[in-house]
Amino acid sequence: MAARSAESDLDLAFRLQMEEAMAASLALLPSSSASASAAAAPSSSSAVAIAGKGEGDGGDLVFVLGLQALELERFRQERKDSEETQAERRRVADDLRRRAHDGRFAHDILMMPDEEWDEFGDDFERPMGPGPGPGRGGDGEAEEPFRLYFKGMASAKEEGSSVIFGAIGVAVCDPRDNLVLKIQKPMPAEATSREMLETKALIEGLNAAISLGIKRINVFSDYKVLYNHLTGKWIVRQRKVANTINQVSLLQRKFEGYRMFLLPRNHVKYVFKFAKDVIDSQITKKADVSPSKNTKETCIICLEATDSSEMFAVDGCSHHFCFSCMKQHAEVKLLHGMLPSCPHDGCNMKLNVESSRKFLSPKLLEIMTQRIKEESIPAAEKVYCPNPKCSALMSLDEAMRPQQESSFSKKPFVDTSGLRVCIKCNGPFCIKCKVLWHDQMSCYDYKRLHPHPRPEDAKLQSLARQKLWRQCTKCNNMIELAEGCFHMTC
């Protein structure tokens, strides 16, 4: 009983939906006869009756049926558009196949010897058979591969702006490098890293070639990183990039012949202009957008779309990264004893303390200040306070020579040429012996009475022997060989 009731409800809903769709269709058409008006009248009265019933029975039945009618109409329109698109693709594919056949036929005529042309030229022919696409001849012979050029490009930073515009350009050419199809489109803010843009452009080009029925294709690029990733020479580290690389691999399998080549930049045709035109168009449109609108840009380290207000610009080079990535980068460098620089590939611009206050903690800022000072002092002029509770760094010029040297030595005949005072703790020390000041003896007597190093230095040397550490002959820092060759650069 319940099943029959449900089936009856479905039939009623279907009939109501069809009546609504017919009424809507007739309402859009011009009334050409009285019969058409009469035919539309029952549907309208039926809809009014249903509306009254729906209001009385609790529902928004008419509203739901109207939505269903709109869905049906949208589905019909999408199907029609899809059929027209497929027909256009078939037409373009046939045109490509015809052009490829004509080009090959003209090439054969051009290469034919004059004697053979005089004898058989009038009878020479090559009919074009019903081949499956422009990548294969009608008689089944393999044709020359088509050519695909692609380029992903991001705009340079504008002065006073942190917005980057991305764009891609794709050129599908016949075997003679004649342009067959061009694609140029902007890319969203979350894909403005170069490898992501280049990969997106390649995916766009391969999809276009597949839709045109091309079976054999040669792909040309000037980006070595993407080329090495696609050819398996390098391993992809970033997850998002790896996902797009996998999409390219799936598309490659749909071609009967696929080869990729790395070319110099000036040999990659068409696509630089295509991508640049799109970027110029975006920059022009940006002038009409309100500056108060919140924009996003992509950090090229984590590839996450981040508000422009949360991005850090490196002073001197204007490369942008999110605060989180900059903090991790700077922290790792500082804890490894290095002064952090711009993380951008190939950029050596050093970070400064003032701008780094936006993302570094006070402790890390203090370490950074120390690293900057260490880097500014030549290795041969670095002096550390020997007091274990101080260990302040200073240069030879900064190590103060006391004005009254006699106050630090009870014996006037003791050599005080090595006497210095720490700039931080004001404690006296011997710059020759690198120890606290020995006021009762000369440097020679001190070294004779203390031939062995201090206990803490002895422990360090013992640990260095166990770990096979070596001491730099220039700066005396301990170095551990983790990997690579035995060559050492201070």
What is the total residue count of the chain? Answer: 490
Residue 462 and residue 64: Cα distance in Å, rounded?
84
Rg value, the chain, Cα: 39
Q: Dump the DSSP string for 213-255.
A: T--EEEEEE--HHHHHHHTTSS---SHHHHHHHHHHHHHHTT-
Residue 181 and residue 179: Cα distance in Å, rounded?
6
Which positions are annotated as active-site residues? 485
Q: Which amino acid is at 405?
A: E
- Tokens in use for 453? 């190093």
7: Cα within 13 Å, side-chain hemisphere: 4
Query: Which residues touch 309 (CB under 8 Å, ≥6 apart)?
Result: 294
Contact (CB, 8 A) for 294 and 307: yes
| DSSP helix/strand/coil, 306 | strand
Identify the residue whose tokens are 């005089």.
Answer: 118
Q: b/e map of 361-374 (b: 16 or more CB within 10 Å)? A: eeebbebbeebebe
What is the H or E stretch that residue 447 is in? helix 443-449
What is the H or E stretch that residue 394 is in? strand 393-395
Residue 310 and residue 355: Cα distance in Å, rounded?
14
Contact (CB, 8 A) for 151 and 278: no
Q: Which amino acid is at 165?
A: F
Residue 472 and residue 459: Cα distance in Å, rounded?
18
Beta bridge partners of 298: 305
